[in-house]
């Protein structure tokens, strides 16, 4: 468990880098957007403001998830990360909808104005900076195998693409199409809403114990290849924060000793932990063909 908590601390470092970058870039974009009359750049700046909130939520979740298990949380507090991401998705959706509403009002009110070309330069510089943050967080996420930080890195990449889109809209507005800047702002609003939906969908899937069937099939295959396992009655898995908990019921030779059954269980735990980075594995051992050995005995819970 020590390594897990050390990795969470490293993940916090990535969250702090994102927060610092978003604070600087959002301020730069919002000020420049007002100075150069660019709706797209303003929308991009507000997008980064939501990212500050999202990164703070991730940071808080990581801090809480570092708390050790207690009497009320036997598996630890790792799901705090998922709850924080869910809250962030609501905040992002609210801001995204507001950006869309403002852009549509501006478009139909006929108030679109031609932004200064300097706004495109600001957007391009910010895109390069955010791409650098993306590369840093992606490398760190791969190093510590942290899915939450990898999701944050992908959000950094989407922000870089948003800034590029804003620059394109601003440049297009220079060719007598001032409404193109507003359309770019609408595209940014839609992207904020889509990002919020993706985070919401993933968070609710994890909180309701959803688990990828292909990965579950891989776990079953690894268990079945363990020497001494003669059958698998059940395999269940769920995500706890960024970590996986597995419950498995296996069948073994009924003539094996308790020590041999325990050895098989340990080997399954070691194999899954090493091969699939599973945090906790609970193995229940049952004798194979129990009804054949004891015809008069009924399965558990049945009469």
Q: Say if 278 falls within a structural domain.
A: yes
Average pLDDT of 65-91?
A: 79
Q: Considering only residues 247 and 212, tell me which one the structure prediction assigns the higher pLDDT.
A: 247
Q: Determine, yes or no, domain membership for 58.
A: yes
pLDDT of residue 147: 66
Q: Which of 190, 207, 224 is the last residue of a domain?
A: 207
Q: Using only C-alpha atoms, what is the Rg of the chain?
A: 26
* Furthest CA-CA distance within the chain: 88
13-22 per-position pLDDT tens digit: 888 998 999 9
Q: What is the pLDDT of residue 248?
A: 93
pTM over 0.75: no
Q: Does residue 134 sit in the same domain as residue 242?
A: no
Q: Using the predicted structure, report yes or no on whether residue 301 has a pLDDT greater than 50.
A: no
Q: Which helix (H) or strand (E) holds 286?
A: strand 280-287
Tell which of 173, 207, 241 closes a domain.
Answer: 207
Least confident window among 22-36, 145-159, 199-213, 215-229: 145-159
Q: Is residue 81 part of a domain?
A: yes
Query: What are the distances in angstroms from CA 280 to CA 126, 240, 284?
Result: 42, 10, 13
Question: Which residue has better confidence, 274 or 128?
Answer: 128
- What average pLDDT score do residues 41-45 get? 83
What letter would DSSP give residue 69?
P
At 165-203, the pLDDT tens digits run 778 777 877 777 767 767 777 887 788 788 888 888 988
Under the banding of pLDDT at 50, 70 and 90, the label for residue 84 is confident
Q: Mean pLDDT of all residues in the chain?
A: 81
Q: What is the mean pLDDT of residues 237-253?
A: 86
Same domain for 94 and 152, yes or no, is yes
Of 204, 57, 39, 45, the residue nearest 107 (C-alpha): 39
pLDDT tens column, 21-31: 999 998 998 99
Report the CATH number at residue 236.
3.30.70.1350
Q: Are 138 and 55 in contact (CB under 8 A)?
A: no
| Co-location of 140 and 219 in the same domain | no
d(CA 176, CA 157): 30
Tokens of 278: 């599973």
Domain limit, last residue, from 192, 207, 222: 207
Average pLDDT of the residues in 213-231: 89
β pairing state of 280-287 and 231-240: unpaired
CA distance readout (Å), 51 to 55, 95, 131, 142, 156: 6, 10, 15, 21, 9
pLDDT of residue 129: 93
More confident residue, 291 or 95: 95
In a domain, 17, yes or no: yes
The answer to whether residue 236 sits within a structural domain is: yes
Angstrom distance (rounded) from CA 92 to CA 191 = 10
Task: Tally Cβ neighbours within 10 Å of residue 187.
Answer: 19
Write b or e for each residue in 256-291: b if 16 or more Cβ atoms lie within 10 A of its Cβ, otherwise e: beeeebeebbebbbebbeeeeebbbbebebeebeee
Stated length of the chain: 303
- % of the chain at pLDDT higher than 70: 89
Q: Tell the residue number behind the tokens 């899954």, with chain if given.
A: 272
- Which domain range does residue 282 map to? 213-293
Please give the structure tokens belonging to residue 109: 């009110």
pLDDT digits (tens, 9 = 90+) for 260-296: 989 999 999 988 887 666 778 899 999 987 655 555 5
Of residues 303 and 132, the one with the higher pLDDT is 132
d(CA 20, CA 22): 6
Q: Are residues 112 and 182 in the same domain?
A: yes
Query: Same structural domain for residues 56 and 31?
Result: yes
* Confidence check: pLDDT of 7 > 80: no
Question: 26-30, 123-127, 146-150, 280-284: which has the minimum mean pLDDT?
Answer: 146-150
Count Cα atoms within 13 angstroms, Cβ side, for 115: 33
Chain Cα centroid distance, residue 16: 16
- pLDDT of res. 303: 40
Task: Answer yes or no: do 116 and 33 share one domain.
Answer: yes
Confidence of residue 302 (pLDDT cuts 50, 70, 90): very low
- Residue 302 domain-assigned (yes or no): no
- Write down the pLDDT at residue 24: 92
Look at the chain and report how many structural domains it folds into.
Answer: 2
Residues 141 and 37 in one domain: yes
């Amino acid at each position: 468990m020590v390594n897990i908590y050390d990795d969470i601390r490293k993940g916090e470092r990535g969250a702090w880098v994102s927060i610092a970058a978003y604070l600087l870039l959002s301020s730069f974009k919002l000020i420049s957007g007002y100075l150069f009359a660019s709706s797209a750049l303003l929308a991009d700046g507000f997008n980064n403001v939501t990212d500050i909130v999202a990164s703070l939520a991730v940071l808080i979740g990581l801090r809480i998830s570092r708390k050790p298990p207690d009497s009320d949380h036997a598996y630890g507090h790792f799901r705090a990360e998922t709850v924080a991401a869910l809250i962030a998705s609501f905040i992002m959706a609210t801001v995204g909808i507001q950006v869309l509403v403002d852009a549509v009002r501006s478009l139909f009110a006929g108030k679109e104005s031609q932004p200064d070309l300097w706004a495109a330069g600001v957007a391009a510089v910010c895109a390069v900076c955010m791409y650098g943050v993306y590369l840093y967080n992606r490398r760190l996420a791969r190093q510590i195998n942290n899915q939450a930080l990898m999701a944050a890195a992908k959000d950094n990449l989407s922000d870089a693409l948003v800034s590029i889109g804003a620059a394109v809209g601003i440049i297009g507005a220079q060719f007598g199409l001032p409404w193109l800047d507003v359309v770019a702002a609408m595209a940014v609003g839609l992207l904020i809403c889509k990002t919020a939906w993706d985070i919401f969908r993933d968070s609710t899937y994890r909180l309701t114990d959803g688990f990828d069937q292909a990965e579950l099939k891989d776990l079953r295959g690894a268990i079945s290849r363990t020497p001494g396992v003669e059958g698998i009655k059940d395999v269940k898995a769920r995500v706890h924060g960024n970590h996986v908990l597995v419950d498995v019921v296996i069948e073994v030779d009924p003539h094996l000793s308790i020590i041999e059954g325990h050895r098989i269980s340990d080997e399954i735990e070691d194999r899954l932990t090493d091969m699939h980075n599973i945090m906790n594995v609970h193995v229940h051992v049952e004798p194979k063909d129990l009804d054949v050995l004891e015809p008069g005995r009924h399965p558990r819970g049945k009469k």
